[in-house]
Structure 1
Amino acid sequence: MLTIGFPRAMAYYYLYPFFRTFAESLGAAFVVSPPTTKATLNKMEFCPTDEPCVAVKLLFAHVKELLERDINHILIPCLVSVEPDNFCCPKFIGIPYMVQNALRDDARVLIPRIDLYRGDDAWQESFVAVARSLGVNSRRQALAALRKAAMVQRRFDRTVAEKRLTIEEAYQLYDKGKLFNGGPPSTPTAKKPVIGVVGHPYILYDTISLDILKQVRHYGPVLTAEMVLPEVAKKEIDSIAEGERLWSFEAQVLGAALHFLRQHLVDRLILVGSFECGPESIIESYVEDEARRQGVPFLLLTLDEHTGEAGLVTRIEAFMDVAPEKRPEVQVPVPAPERRLLPGPPPERMVVGLPSMGHLDLAIRCALGECGIDSLPTPHASKEIIELGKALSPEFVCLPFVITLGQMRYLLERGATHLLMVGGKGKCRLGWYAQIQEQLLRKLGYEFEMIIIDSPVPFARRWSKFRGAIKEATGNASWWRIIRALYNGYHRIAAIDRAEKECHRIRAFERQQGTVDKLFRRFVRAVEQAPDSTTVQQLLRNFLEEANSIEMEETNPVRVRVLGEIWVVLESYVNMHLERLLGRSTDPRVWVDREISVTNWFHQHIFPTREALRRREEIKQAAKPYLGTEVGGHGHISVGLTALARQEGIDGIIHLMPFTCMPEIVAQNILVQLSQRFDIPVLTWIITDQTGEAGFETRIEAFLDILKERKLAGGL
């Protein structure tokens, strides 16, 4: 009999009955790795990088323990979407591929994929493939096992909620065959405070939590998120704009927390998370606000492998000593925030402010101007802007959130009446920025309107909202005027992107370094002032002609590909003016290859061109052997561009990512293996508000020295 090993981490705490039922229905033995011990923690170094949250590193450690037991196959599911309208966190999508790339014998990893978002049953074929790996060639038998597994899991989830069991208690009963027996739900003991403890079960019930539930139970009975029926949690989530599109597991945690608070079921609430948990930085604001509204003391506990028991106990003791506020006698609507008057007289006209990404704000402001809408210049990222955003931001939210929030505050203080921001719920956090930022700004009393531009696709469901946002942003201009303005705005950013690409090449050969940069700065100012797209096109032709007349010299430059999360790649202040730094290098000279741009994204996603779609598919196919599905953001592209690098003449890779960026954490983990596989140097730079320029330049110089030595050795 074949044996399947299942790591006691991540998906285990959500779908153990499902995968055990599936495997055993096919005649395989199903073995779960033992509970986490100190020895397990020592095996977390099997994870190639230190950036993933502790849950990911624990999964690597548990895989290591299963491999040491000589298990036939390791099952690690790829959970893309377990509900039709939303996704799972990128780490649940990418973890099987992260582990697969870390193993020499990757054939031992079985990767069934669940993806209900697409609305079809294509994902079921991955379970059929797993069945074949186990020697079951009957597709009918595999699908029957899949249906049975889904039925058991649904029954399990409902039973746990109805009996008010923790996952840990439920699994013990399930393994003994006693879970589905009769028995009333547990009832909180009278005269003791009821404490809600919510968070991911893979943290709460792992040894890493230092048995936090046991410690909290000293003070009273505990309610956890799995004790709330999914439909009840969903009803609470529906009170949040687009709450149905929140990540599935986080939606259950948030929905349960809101239910406990609004129904006055708990006297205190603790949200337990892990260091660097991306989704938690989004739901944290909603939980904290509701706890404040209901007068319930709230504690956020963030744990990792270094958390000490003494400090944890002290924090819980102090929290339990906090006197609860007076509860409202009845549930009341969300109160309107205290308004803060903007500087100067009340605005008499619409003034739009928007965050920046590279030169995109220039194009958008020009388009707004053509529609008769006033806008404020977007401030460049700076220490001042970072501090404005950091003062309001959740602890582990990514740097793009912090800086764009800081830019919003700056613009509001200078008279903006409307803020324009992108939306679009997906796998990374970007789609939730605008909602959380609006909530945080209104908490300070700012008075403004937030206009969120979401994707219009699919048109049947989202066109109406998209149309309304565009009309609001343009002052209800005619569609002819809007289309003309967007057309001219597109040509401005496309011209700037084309000119930047030429700068990348010329910097590697110009005799007097810095000549093309002066020319480019003058070109950008002219594009901003140009009256129409015809003028912009002429400006671009003039720039290319002047740039190519710059005096050149013979050099042998190294080719450096810059990739990563699009915002930090395009924001020069945030990436320490990386491209300018590379362009100043004299030994070696550097030819930057940067494919990520606003124009390329536009051509691949909004108005696709044949060339852009061909390139997108090429990158996707190159990534597929190492990352079998998209994880959000530019994580998939980072892997694909790295896999293509050597054959495209690239000497080295610089990978940029903001601290806690979920898709790029997945990519970084895989890039470590690709660097060895393709023998290409990869430098990953993790950017925070504490990143120092001196250390950055030293690392870049050392990296370039490596590339120069390799190039010289290759030429001998």
Structure 2
Amino acid sequence: MIKIGLPRAMSYYYLYPFFKTLISELGGEVILSKLTTKATLEEMSVCPTDEPCLAVKLYFSHVKQLIDEDCEYIFIPRLISVEEGNFCCPKIIGIADMITNTFDIGERVLSPRIDMSNKQQMVEDLHYIAKCLGFKKNKVIEVLDKSWKFQKDFSKFMVDNKLTTEEAYAILDKKSGIDHYKEHEEDKEQVPAIGVIGHPYVLYEWVSHNLIQRFRQYGKVFTPEMVDKKHIKDQMKQIYEGEKLWHFEAQMLGSALYLMKNRLIDRLVLVGLFECGPESIVEAYIEEEADRLGIPLLKLFLDEQTGEAGLVTRIEAFMDTDIQNLEEEVTVVHKPFHTEKVLLREKPIVGFPAMGQLDIVIDSILKECGVETVKPPALSTRSIELGKELAPEFVCLPLTATLGQMIEMLELGANSFLMVSGKGRCRLGWYAQIQELLLKRKGLSFNMMIIDSPFPLRKNGLNFFNTIKQVTNGARFDRVIKSLALGYHKLEVLENAQAVCRRIRAYESQRGQIDQVFNLLRAGIDQASDYRTVTKFYKNFMEETETIKLEDTNPLKVALVGEIWVLLEPFVNMEIEKFLGSRENIRVVVERELTVSHWLQGNILYTKKAVKRGKEIQKAASPYLKEYVGGHGRESIGLTALASQEGVDGVIHLMPFTCMPEIVAHNILTQASDKLDIPVLSFIISDQTGEAGFETRLEAFLELLLERRFEKTYPMGWS
């Protein structure tokens, strides 16, 4: 029988019954990696970057352990969707590619796509595995159905017997019997009842220091796997588009809401990992409901440095505190935050967060439809600080910053907000809901208007057009179309002008001239009210650029890739384009392909050129990252690969702290850059990023690129 290694990490804790049945039915024998120990933690250095959460780094350690084991293959599934209509966390989707870019294990890896939204691809991948194991391909669908059924039956077994994942797996592997765990159910009236909510790959890992057993010393413990899936789904339906939340996080949130609303628990503990992206969304909903119901909540965030003594102290303090006192603290009435409570008026005054040139564009569209607006103040330290006061600790920087801008716009008189949505792999689709929840908890009144994709039209079209009608205050359809056309024209003009600026900065004799010309253009476009005026301003801009004296230089070519908001927001990226284009002794042409119009052309308008380029980027990324992980993670890989072919000297990768798609991309880029033979400098942007250190690293990178160019031009030196 062929031995197949399975890492005892991440998806193992959710789908081991499925994996074990699938592999066994295909003729393989499952070899699990050993339980995590302190030595396993020390092996986490094999993970190329520090940014992934502890669960990802542990996965690397467990794979390394299996590489040295006596097994022919290692099973690392591409877990994309285990329920139709939602996805898994981007790091779970991308883990197979992160692993294969780090370890040279080639054909030893079996990485089938597990995607309930694309069953045909899933079956095709399993056909390949069946071929590797010498199994008959025509029985794969039968094996797949049997494996899923066993997984569902096993989940029901855990619910019926109120077993933890750890206890149930011990029974599955015949290490103990069901009677061994019956003692937990003997005292049905045992109090207090404690809900312990977290991923099983956190709750039952070494780093949790036996959390469940510690809480059982105080009372009866409920965990997410003990709650019926039907109850979880019913709870998620009560949240707007809750059924689209990442699947495993939905199990956590739905079970927590069910336990709290039905008063099955007296206290709740939320256990997470530092930098867990999806948990920052779940946390907001759990905290809101615990607050509303007066249920004491303890939040524990763990990493490899978490000490047992400190953890025990926090548990003891939480459990020893009188519940009545805790309830009094939790149910305090919220007071307005920073500004008087805003009362909705009949006429909406609409605010919207900024990104690059979008403030001008959206303001123009709304005003042309007769809507009063409040333009977002330029992003600042104050914006981010205001957002930080409300935002969950590990939420991504764009959500925090735009949340702060909303508070500033409320201060300026806005009573409505316009936000985009679109649930998927990235957290962006949850921004509007979380921001509304956080602001209204602080006593602020406003109307949140959410625009989602109109596609597919049969399903989403009516809702989309109703939202447009609401946003435009009932403007006539022809007026809306005209305003959209004008706004899009302004966007294209501004972005084309920025591309001209990036080129001319590398050649202009008097530095900063092109930026002065662009600022005049931007001010004019902001005030322009018709298509002809916009075109005239752009024509004047191009004529002015012709008068700028240029020098004959041989500039470096540097490509900017990464998350789009960080790329487009100058305050956040320390005006990196201007900085690179204004060096005293080093001339640099900056190339940045990601723009708002580029996104619209590829995802909404489907222009021939944009679609073709999108396919090129995907193809270039596929040797390193085969799956779409959300955001612009795949584009970061693909554009870097293309840059190495298109004469670019180096790539600068920008990502917000805790951005899930870019964490995957960063992890892969550290390995792929060597294979692609192109230097990559990654910046993780947070509110703590210092300008001096940022610029020092950029200067050093440019010097490196110059030395590299010299070595390529003169491989034997000057002689």
TM-score range, shorter chain: over 0.9
**How many residue pairs align between the two structures?**
709
What SS does the aligned partner of 1:123 have? helix
Determine the structure 2 residue equivalent to 1:277: 276
Determine the structure 1 residue equivalent to 2:153: 155
1:610 is aligned to 2:608: yes
Higher mean Cα deviation, 610-619 or 106-115?
Answer: 106-115
1:322 is aligned to 2:321: yes
1:392 is aligned to 2:390: yes
Determine the structure 2 residue equivalent to 1:49: 49
Task: Tell me if the contact between 2:167 and 2:181 (Cα under 8 Å) persists in the aligned partners.
Answer: no
Determine the structure 2 residue equivalent to 1:558: 556
Determine the structure 1 residue equivalent to 2:36: 36
User: 1:322: Cα distance to partner?
Assistant: 2.3
Q: Please report the RMSD computed on the Cα atoms of aligned residues, expressed in angstroms.
A: 2.0
Q: Report % sequence identity.
A: 50
Higher mean Cα deviation, 680-689 or 67-76?
Answer: 67-76
What SS does the aligned partner of 2:99 have? helix
Determine the structure 2 residue equivalent to 1:361: 359
Task: Tell me if the contact between 1:295 and 1:325 (Cα under 8 Å) persists in the aligned partners.
Answer: no
User: 1:177: Cα distance to partner?
Assistant: 8.5
User: 1:5: Cα distance to partner?
Assistant: 0.5
Determine the structure 2 residue equivalent to 1:82: 82
User: What do residues 243-267 of structure 1 show as CA deviations (whole Å, max 9, x unaligned)?
Assistant: 1111100001001001110111111
Task: Tell me if the contact between 1:342 and 1:447 (Cα under 8 Å) persists in the aligned partners.
Answer: no
1: CA distance, partners of 2:493 / 2:529? 14
1:696 alignment partner AA: F
1:236 is aligned to 2:221: no
Task: Tell me if the contact between 1:386 and 1:403 (Cα under 8 Å) persists in the aligned partners.
Answer: yes
Higher mean Cα deviation, 146-155 or 662-671?
Answer: 146-155
User: 1:478: Cα distance to partner?
Assistant: 1.1
2: CA distance, partners of 1:348 / 1:429? 32
Determine the structure 2 residue equivalent to 1:9: 9
2: CA distance, partners of 1:624 / 1:465? 35
Determine the structure 2 residue equivalent to 1:465: 463
Alignment of 1:382-531 (within 5 A): 382-531=380-529
For structure 1, the 5+ residue unaligned runs are 329-333
2: CA distance, partners of 1:544 / 1:595? 21
Task: Tell me if the contact between 1:668 and 1:684 (Cα under 8 Å) persists in the aligned partners.
Answer: yes
Task: Tell me if the contact between 1:562 and 1:569 (Cα under 8 Å) persists in the aligned partners.
Answer: yes
1: CA distance, partners of 2:389 / 2:181? 50
2: CA distance, partners of 1:158 / 1:36? 27
User: 1:180: Cα distance to partner?
Assistant: 8.7
Task: State the TM-score, normalizing by the size of structure 2.
Answer: 0.96
Determine the structure 1 residue equivalent to 2:378: 380
1: CA distance, partners of 2:341 / 2:15? 54
1: CA distance, partners of 2:531 / 2:322? 64
1:634 is aligned to 2:632: yes
User: 1:348: Cα distance to partner?
Assistant: 5.9
2: CA distance, partners of 1:129 / 1:379? 55
Determine the structure 2 residue equivalent to 1:292: 291
Cα distance change on mapping 1:327 and 1:650 into 2, 3 Å: closer
Determine the structure 1 residue equivalent to 2:194: 195
Cα distance change on mapping 1:179 and 1:226 into 2, 3 Å: farther
Task: State the TM-score, normalizing by the size of structure 1.
Answer: 0.96
1: CA distance, partners of 2:527 / 2:177? 71
1:693 alignment partner AA: E
Higher mean Cα deviation, 65-74 or 434-443?
Answer: 65-74
User: 1:179: Cα distance to partner?
Assistant: 7.2
User: What do residues 394-444 of structure 1 show as CA deviations (whole Å, max 9, x unaligned)?
Assistant: 010011011100000000111101111111111010100100100111111
1: CA distance, partners of 2:107 / 2:159? 38
2:269 alignment partner AA: I
Cα distance change on mapping 1:162 and 1:509 into 2, 3 Å: same
2: CA distance, partners of 1:435 / 1:145? 40
Determine the structure 2 residue equivalent to 1:141: 139
User: 1:335: Cα distance to partner?
Assistant: 13
What SS does the aligned partner of 2:323 have? coil
Task: Tell me if the contact between 2:196 and 2:221 (Cα under 8 Å) persists in the aligned partners.
Answer: yes
Determine the structure 2 residue equivalent to 1:331: none
1: CA distance, partners of 2:252 / 2:711? 55
Task: Tell me if the contact between 1:626 and 1:670 (Cα under 8 Å) persists in the aligned partners.
Answer: yes
1: CA distance, partners of 2:685 / 2:468? 33
Task: Tell me if the contact between 1:342 and 1:412 (Cα under 8 Å) persists in the aligned partners.
Answer: no
User: 1:344: Cα distance to partner?
Assistant: 9.0
Cα distance change on mapping 1:182 and 1:61 into 2, 3 Å: closer
What SS does the aligned partner of 2:363 have? helix
2: CA distance, partners of 1:360 / 1:188? 60
User: What do residues 652-696 of structure 1 show as CA deviations (whole Å, max 9, x unaligned)?
Assistant: 110000000000000000001111101211110000001100000
Task: Tell me if the contact between 2:344 and 2:415 (Cα under 8 Å) persists in the aligned partners.
Answer: no
What SS does the aligned partner of 1:683 have? strand
Cα distance change on mapping 1:239 and 1:325 into 2, 3 Å: farther
Task: Tell me if the contact between 1:343 and 1:415 (Cα under 8 Å) persists in the aligned partners.
Answer: no
User: 1:534: Cα distance to partner?
Assistant: 2.2
Cα distance change on mapping 1:537 and 1:67 into 2, 3 Å: same
Task: Tell me if the contact between 1:170 and 1:179 (Cα under 8 Å) persists in the aligned partners.
Answer: no
Determine the structure 1 residue equivalent to 2:677: 679
2: CA distance, partners of 1:666 / 1:344? 41
Task: Tell me if the contact between 1:337 and 1:442 (Cα under 8 Å) persists in the aligned partners.
Answer: no
Determine the structure 1 residue equivalent to 2:221: 222
For structure 2, the 5+ residue unaligned runs are 715-719
What SS does the aligned partner of 1:121 have? helix
1: CA distance, partners of 2:172 / 2:644? 51
2: CA distance, partners of 1:186 / 1:210? 23
User: 1:618: Cα distance to partner?
Assistant: 0.3
Determine the structure 2 residue equivalent to 1:205: 204
Task: Tell me if the contact between 1:296 and 1:325 (Cα under 8 Å) persists in the aligned partners.
Answer: no
User: 1:345: Cα distance to partner?
Assistant: 8.9
Determine the structure 2 residue equivalent to 1:579: 577
User: What do residues 596-617 of structure 1 show as CA deviations (whole Å, max 9, x unaligned)?
Assistant: 0001001001111111000000
1: CA distance, partners of 2:335 / 2:141? 56
Determine the structure 2 residue equivalent to 1:663: 661
Determine the structure 1 residue equivalent to 2:27: 27
Task: Tell me if the contact between 1:428 and 1:662 (Cα under 8 Å) persists in the aligned partners.
Answer: yes
2: CA distance, partners of 1:367 / 1:619? 31
Determine the structure 1 residue equivalent to 2:174: 176
